[in-house]
Structures are given as structure tokens and as C-alpha cells.
Amino acid sequence: MDKNIANQDRLIVALDVPTVAEAKAMVEKLGDAVSFYKIGLELFMSGEYFELLDWLKAQDKKIFVDLKFFDVPATVGRAIKQLNGKGVTFATIHGNDSIMRSAAENKGDVQVLAVTVLTSLDRGDLDDLGFDCDVDKLVLSRAKRAIALGCDGVVASGLEAPVMRENLGHNFMIVSPGIRPVDNDDDQKRVVTVEKAFENGADYIVIGRPIRDADNPKAAAEMIQAQIAKTIS
């Protein structure tokens, strides 16, 4: 874990809502409890993605562009390059070595995160996709290649963070989605608690529904921030 990251920034809230108006309302509701936001495909399809990006930047928020770029390597490289100078901290990519290399070569002031295995997938899903290996072995293999090719870190479940830290060290970031403060019954399968994610070696956690759907989203975010501070202190 990178000890130089401010605890406040370690919580990334996923703005998984259909409209920019709803996203802005959530940011305003959370106020100073959250400093880092992830904007993904749902908002991209709203047609106002970059308006929201610029607005978040103006609010002095950190921005995680989670579009999981996957295309011809040169196209992915040019897409990442388009994000330079826009106030973006993280951007995600998918794919093989050439895609990761092209993204890393064009990242500029954006930190590139390679997606390992989506937290909505389990062993049975990997069988369906034709991956004849354990989840942790696949995650470790993809992380090792991503780091060697110049990516700044990976997106991976907190369940696989220990094996990555043990085998690959601490000179890269682990951003862990699938964080559930309470029992989970949604489509995320490989989940961990806030405390366990950081104990296992994550640098950041991404949380959406447990905050968005809470009766008091700001109180939920503040509770998670307190858990982070207690775990890392």
C-alpha cells in the first residue's frame, strides 16, 4: 500500500446513475465527505460525459474515467491521449500486451489502470469464457504484464491483492471495486469489506451502490471514511 495517498482520497465513489443531473446531485449531497469520483459507461451514454468531467474538475474533485478501453492498440493509445490535460487521474483499459503498451506510451498526465478480472466474474464465468486457470493466477498474470508494459496499476478484487503484493511488490497501485460494507446480494461476486481490502494491500477502493442507495448517502460515505482512517492509522 502506498502510504503517501491521503486517506480522504482512498475512497472512490462510483457515479453509476443514468443522467448528469443525478450525478451532480449526488456529488453535492456527499459534499466534502468524498473527493474522488468514478464515471463510467452509463454516464458516457448520457451524451454529457465531458460536461460532467469538466464540472467535477471545477469542483476540485479527482476523476476516474472508467471506460475500459478495448480496441485496436493504436486506437486505444489515441483515446488515452485525448484525456491528457483534462484533469483525469485514472483511466481504465482492457486487453492484451499491445493494447496495454499503447495506452502506457500515450498516458501523459493520466495514470493507466489495467483491468484484471471483473469482480462480477467467478470461476464458472471464466470457464464460460475459456480461461482454464484459477482466478488468482489469471489476475497475477495480467497484473505482471501490465506493470512491465508501463501501466501504473491494476483494477482487481481485494481478494487477489495479497498474491499480487507478495509476487509483484508495492511499486504499483491496486484499485479494488466490489467493496461491500455489509452482506452482499447483488451481481458482484468477488467482494471484500473495506477493512479487508486495505489489509490485503489495496491503495484505493471503489464503492457505488452501498453509498448511492443508502438512506443517508453522506453518512454512509463518512462511515466508510472512518473505517479507512481506522484501518490505515
| pLDDT, tens digit, 9 for 90 and up, residues 141-168 | 889 999 999 999 999 888 889 999 999 9
pTM of the predicted structure, to 2 decimals: 0.89
Residue 106 lies in a domain: yes
Question: What pLDDT score does 183 carry?
Answer: 46
Report if residue 94 sits inside a domain: yes
Kindly give the residue spans of alpha helices, DSSP state H, lying in the chain. 20-30, 41-44, 49-58, 73-82, 97-105, 123-129, 135-148, 161-168, 194-199, 209-212, 217-232
* 58 domain residue, yes or no: yes
The confidence score (pLDDT) of residue 131 equals 58
CATH number at residue 70: 3.20.20.70
Predicted local confidence at residue 61, as pLDDT: 98
C-alpha span between 60 and 141 (Å, rounded): 36
Assess if residue 223 is contained within a domain: yes
Domain assignment present for 2: no
Question: Is the pLDDT score of 49 beyond 60?
Answer: yes
Q: Which of 24, 29, 57, 68 is labelled catalytic?
A: 68
Q: How many domains would you assign to the chain?
A: 1
The residue among 1 and 114 whose pLDDT is bigger is 114
* Mean pLDDT along residues 29-36: 98
At residue 149, the pLDDT reads: 96
Q: With a cut of 70, say whether residue 21 has pLDDT above it.
A: yes
Active site residue 61: no
Residues 6+ apart with CB under 8 A from 51: 20
Is there a domain that residue 69 lies in? yes
* CA angle centred on 218, ends 212 and 222, rounded to 5°: 115
**Highest mean predicted confidence (pLDDT) among 44-58, 128-142, 159-173:** 44-58
Other Cβ atoms less than 10 A from the Cβ of 159: the count is: 19
Q: Per-residue confidence at 122, pLDDT binned at 50, 70, 90? A: low
Q: Residue 72: which domain range?
A: 7-232
Identify whether 1 is part of a domain: no
pLDDT of the residue at 141: 86
Grid cell locating 15: 457515479
Is 155 domain-assigned?
yes
Give pLDDT tens digits for 72-102.
Answer: 999 999 999 999 999 999 999 988 899 999 9
Q: What is the mean pLDDT of the chain?
A: 89
pLDDT exceeds 60 at position 187: no
pLDDT confidence of residue 4: 87
